[in-house]
Amino acid sequence: MLLTVCGGPATAQTPSGKPVKVAFFGFQLINTSLEPVHDAEKQRIAMVGELLRRMLTDSGRYQIVPLADDLKQKIAQSPEITGCNGCQIDWARQAGADFAAWGMVHKVSNLILNLNVYMDDTTDGRRYFARSVSIRGNTDESWQRGLRYLLRHYLFDEK
């Protein structure tokens, strides 16, 4: 697999021109605000996860690989991905993927949130892509807009 990162947007390509296989492990919500997590935010976590899957697939550059049931069980019994010391790379390898991908939304307050997307290369364990965008407002629209912006401008290099 040939990977190119040139100081700006990331581009991925296999030598055959086929989409790069990605194991996506979802988004995690980290709440450091003084407010509890609301049901709407739990739904937004699933919503941005589905949007990321769709945008990666629709780009034609990435293919989301399914996770086997036994791997899903192993993941469910493991620590959160942000604290598992690289477990996502082994999980992605087990799924037959070239990249491990996941995201995090950090809720600072109802007005200030940060949306982060990470991708690691399973061949060498290196971080391939890591970007964050600040979101102002805690709505479906603001979360979707933030993710679309991040992917289009940094991963897909669309202007």
User: pLDDT tens digits for the chain (159 residues)?
Assistant: 333 333 344 456 556 678 999 999 999 999 999 999 999 999 999 999 999 999 999 999 999 999 999 999 999 999 888 888 889 999 999 999 999 999 999 999 999 999 999 999 999 999 999 999 999 999 999 999 999 999 999 999 876
Query: Are 135 and 108 contacting, i.e. CB atoms less than 8 angstroms apart?
Result: no
d(CA 13, CA 76): 31
pTM confidence score = 0.88
In angstroms, the first-to-last Cα distance of the chain is 26
pLDDT, position 83: 84
Rg for the chain, CA atoms, rounded: 15
pLDDT, position 8: 40
pLDDT, position 124: 95
Place of tokens 């477990």: 87
At 41 the three-state DSSP class reads helix
Query: Are 11 and 156 contacting, i.e. CB atoms less than 8 angstroms apart?
Result: no
* Domains annotated on the chain, with CATH: 2-155 (3.40.50.10610)
pLDDT, position 17: 78
